[in-house]
């Protein structure tokens, strides 16, 4: 497959980026191919109803999700009811938000009233949260239509979505391959046109890596920009929710909808949300200083990934950006530091799954004591990767090893932040490939945790230092998408959208169509 669109339907006669109102009745084309911006514009113009958009998404899910397995729970009734209310309010002339009526897939790690929240784990099978996460509250307030909950690696631990207790999700580009993880269901749903938007979470790359291998735009906002209230914690100092979308503008619209200070999360920062939507539309990177990170290249990086990345760097040069090579010497220690810090925080956070207040309880026969019930429940309820990380974290935090492992990892975290600070004295943004390789076959790394962990080599530094980062699609290698990562200083999330928007527009122009048009029909 090279440059010929093989999509099952013709592209709608509406802009795929930007918020222009479609001219020729959007409802006549395939609504599921519309961007979020175009869907919202068509609904605002009265050319499409929210119910029609929702029904189209639900029909698409019914058609392809047996193959893709992105969804763990589809709330057709709730979604159609919400869409109906939005249509009524539009008809009554009430003002609606910029994403009103747009369907969305929600990662199953966010507490959601009226739907299960499983975190991809047996230990929470069938559990319903008694409250909404702040991200969910904001989406509902923005009149976004929640289609349901999507698959993920158990408790967001993994890079392939193979660690879900409910079976793997498949990559829509090649259904024998992984969709990335841990937000693999979010990425697969958007890439398979089941939803124009999805929410993921990113602790070490769990939004950006799935976005990269599924040919999408994915953003980890600055730590603290999006509330973690109701986001089931894996590694509290690293976890951050963010958007997955087919275009930079769509990601910006979703970013703007969910970001902002929340008194319910004490780590939420009280600073204004950067103007990400305006930045996405600017399309001008003349004079922007772009640093290519020397340490995130070379050995272990797939030649096809390197070639697509190099071509994108050339495009940025053509657009007038100033390309500089930058060294961040401690980035090579980011993966080791991460796999001490994240398991340590995980072993503490997952102590709450104690079989007492919610979720699974095994072995409560009236004789067994609480500790025995707890131990048997955790054995039955957690999968292998979660067990590995709980034990690893317990080890790294135990007296005698604490200084050598957790303490040292926290010092490396300081050194990585200093590398970023030094780099941003020279450049405005940093770039690298998002992942060293394209999507690998399902099962290829499932028994080799260290090989799996290398998927996150390029994405982890931003989690450790807190800065925002985006992955956007820049090409294909052997028919599989390649992502480019843009990193920016904390609170400068708009720079991601400025550079990403310009690069996306140039690449789409050159190609003549969005990359996702080249995905095979499902």
Partner 1 sequence: MGITRDEVAHLARLARMSVTDAELDALAPQLEAILSAVARVAEVAAADIPPTSHAVPLTNVFRPDVARPSLSAADALAGAPAAEDGRFRVPRILDPDE
User: Annotated catalytic sites, by residue?
Assistant: 107, 182, 206
Q: Which of 275, 306, 417, 477 binds partner 1 (CB under 8 A)?
A: 417
Of 478-517, binders to partner 1 (CB under 8 A) are 490
Of residues 307 and 356, the one with the C-beta less far from partner 1: 356
Using CB under 8 A as the binding rule, whether residue 412 contacts partner 1 is answered as yes
Using CB under 8 A as the binding rule, whether residue 269 contacts partner 1 is answered as yes
Piece of the chain touching partner 1 by CB under 8 A; list 247-255, 259-267, 276-284, 287-295: 259-267
Candidates 39, 46, 264, 25; CA nearest to 145 is 39
Q: How far is CA 22 from the centre of its chain?
A: 28
**From CA 92, how far away is CA 210, in angstroms rounded?**
40
Of 301-330, binders to partner 1 (CB under 8 A) are 330
Closest distance of CB 395 from partner 1, Å: 5
Of residues 411 and 510, the one with the C-beta less far from partner 1: 411
Closest distance of CB 430 from partner 1, Å: 16
Closest distance of CB 458 from partner 1, Å: 17
Binding-site size for partner 1 (CB under 8 A) equals 74
Of 355-394, binders to partner 1 (CB under 8 A) are 355-361, 364, 368-376, 378-379, 382, 384, 387-388, 390-392, 394
Candidates 72, 116, 121, 113; CA nearest to 353 is 121
Candidates 180, 216, 215; CA nearest to 198 is 216
- Rg for the chain (alpha carbons), in Å? 22
Of residues 140 and 376, the one with the C-beta less far from partner 1: 376
Q: Which of 5, 73, 96, 267 binds partner 1 (CB under 8 A)?
A: 267
Of residues 311 and 395, the one with the C-beta less far from partner 1: 395
What sections of 121-247 are H helices per DSSP? 134-141, 184-191, 208-214
Q: Are 219 and 470 in contact (CB under 8 A)?
A: yes
Using CB under 8 A as the binding rule, whether residue 405 contacts partner 1 is answered as yes
Closest distance of CB 371 from partner 1, Å: 6
Of residues 85 and 387, the one with the C-beta less far from partner 1: 387
State phi, psi for 161 to the nearest 5 degrees: 65, 10
Largest CA distance in the chain: 73
**From CA 389, how far away is CA 395, in angstroms rounded?**
10
Report CA torsion sign: 486, 487, 488, 494: positive
Of 104-143, binders to partner 1 (CB under 8 A) are 127-131
What sections of 8-75 are H helices per DSSP? 36-44, 50-68
Of residues 387 and 513, the one with the C-beta less far from partner 1: 387
Of 68-107, binders to partner 1 (CB under 8 A) are none
Of 6-65, binders to partner 1 (CB under 8 A) are none
**From CA 215, how far away is CA 477, in angstroms rounded?**
11
Piece of the chain touching partner 1 by CB under 8 A; list 17-25, 35-43, 59-67, 463-471: 463-471
State phi, psi for 472 to the nearest 5 degrees: -135, 150
Using CB under 8 A as the binding rule, whether residue 299 contacts partner 1 is answered as no
Q: How far is CA 420 from the centre of its chain?
A: 22
Q: Which of 302, 453, 501, 514 binds partner 1 (CB under 8 A)?
A: 453
Of residues 117 and 164, the one with the C-beta less far from partner 1: 117
Query: Which stretch of DSSP H or E encloses residue 255?
Result: helix 248-258
Torsion of CA 79, 84, 85, 88, to 10 degrees: 160
Closest distance of CB 223 from partner 1, Å: 5
Piece of the chain touching partner 1 by CB under 8 A; list 87-95, 161-169, 406-414, 421-429: 406-414
State phi, psi for 444 to the nearest 5 degrees: -65, -35
List all residues 6 or more positions away from 363 whose beta carbon is below 8 Å from its beta carbon: 372, 373, 376, 377
State phi, psi for 511 to the nearest 5 degrees: -75, -30
Closest distance of CB 221 from partner 1, Å: 11
Report CA torsion sign: 351, 353, 355, 361: negative
Q: Which of 410, 479, 506, 513 binds partner 1 (CB under 8 A)?
A: 410
Closest distance of CB 518 from partner 1, Å: 36
Q: Which of 65, 153, 354, 504 binds partner 1 (CB under 8 A)?
A: 354
Q: Which of 2, 298, 450, 512 binds partner 1 (CB under 8 A)?
A: 450
Q: Which of 44, 81, 289, 395 binds partner 1 (CB under 8 A)?
A: 395
What is the DSSP code (8-state) at residue 404?
I
Using CB under 8 A as the binding rule, whether residue 260 contacts partner 1 is answered as no
Of residues 457 and 507, the one with the C-beta less far from partner 1: 457
Closest distance of CB 331 from partner 1, Å: 11
Please report the DSSP string for 451-516 in residue order.
HHHGGGTTTHHHHHH---EEEEEEEEETTEEEEEEEE--TT-HHHHHHHHHHHHHHHHHHHSS-GG
Q: How far is CA 227 from the centre of its chain?
A: 15
Of 210-249, binders to partner 1 (CB under 8 A) are 222-224, 237-238
Closest distance of CB 204 from partner 1, Å: 13
Question: Token digits for 508?
Answer: 């789409």
Of residues 466 and 500, the one with the C-beta less far from partner 1: 466
Phi-psi region of 153 (alpha: psi -120 to 50; beta: other; left: phi over 0): beta
């Amino acid at each position: 497959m090279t440059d010929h669109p093989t999509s099952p339907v013709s592209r709608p006669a509406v802009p795929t980026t930007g918020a222009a109102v479609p001219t020729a009745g959007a409802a006549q084309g395939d609504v599921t191919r519309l961007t979020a911006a175009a869907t919202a514009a068509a609904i605002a113009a009265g050319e499409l109803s929210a119910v029609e958009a929702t029904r189209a998404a639900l029909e698409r899910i019914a058609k392809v999700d047996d193959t893709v397995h992105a969804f763990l729970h589809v709330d057709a009734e709730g979604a159609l009811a919400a869409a109906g209310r939005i249509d009524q309010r539009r008809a009554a002339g009430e003002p609606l938000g910029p994403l009103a009526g747009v369907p969305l897939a929600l990662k199953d790690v966010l507490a959601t009233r009226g739907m299960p929240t499983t975190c991809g784990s047996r230990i929470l099978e069938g559990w319903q949260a008694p409250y909404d996460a702040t991200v969910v509250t904001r989406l509902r307030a923005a009149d976004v239509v929640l289609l349901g909950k999507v698959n993920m690696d158990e408790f967001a631990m993994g890079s392939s979505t193979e660690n879900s207790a409910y079976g793997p999700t498949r990559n829509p580009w090649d259904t024998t391959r992984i969709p990335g993880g841990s937000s693999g269901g979010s990425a697969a749903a958007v890439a398979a046109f089941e939803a124009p938007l999805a929410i993921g979470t990113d602790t070490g790359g769990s939004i950006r890596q799935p976005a990269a291998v599924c040919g999408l735009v994915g953003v980890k906002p600055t730590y603290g920009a999006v509330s973690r209230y109701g986001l089931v914690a894996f590694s509290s100092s690293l976890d951050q929710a963010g958007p997955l979308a087919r275009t930079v503008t769509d990601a910006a619209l979703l970013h703007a909808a969910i970001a902002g200070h929340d008194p319910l999360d004490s780590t939420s920062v009280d600073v204004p949300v950067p103007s990400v939507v305006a930045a996405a539309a600017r399309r001008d990177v003349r004079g922007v200083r772009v640093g290519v990170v020397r340490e995130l290249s070379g050995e272990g990086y797939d030649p096809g990934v390197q070639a697509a990345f190099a071509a994108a760097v050339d495009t940025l040069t053509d657009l007038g950006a100033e390309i500089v090579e930058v060294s961040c010497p401690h980035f090579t220690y980011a993966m080791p530091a991460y796999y001490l810090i994240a398991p340590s925080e995980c072993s503490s956070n997952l102590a709450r799954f104690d079989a007492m207040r919610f979720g699974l309880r095994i072995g409560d026969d009236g004789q067994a004591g609480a500790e025995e019930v707890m131990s048997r429940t955790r054995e039955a309820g957690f999968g292998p990767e979660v067990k590995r990380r709980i034990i690893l974290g317990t080890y790294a935090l135990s007296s005698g090893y604490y200084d050598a492992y957790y303490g040292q990892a926290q010092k490396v975290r300081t050194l990585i932040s200093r590398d970023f600070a030094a780099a941003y004295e020279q450049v405005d943004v940093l770039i690298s490939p998002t992942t060293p390789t394209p999507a690998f076959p399902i099962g290829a790394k499932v028994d080799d945790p260290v090989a799996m962990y290398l998927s996150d080599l390029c994405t982890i530094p931003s989690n450790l230092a807190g800065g925002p980062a985006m992955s956007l699609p820049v090409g294909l290698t052997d028919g599989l998408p390649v992502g480019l990562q843009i990193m920016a200083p904390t609170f400068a999330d708009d720079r991601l959208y400025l550079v990403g928007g310009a690069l996306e527009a140039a690449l789409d122009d050159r190609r003549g169509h969005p990359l996702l048009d080249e995905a095979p029909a499902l």
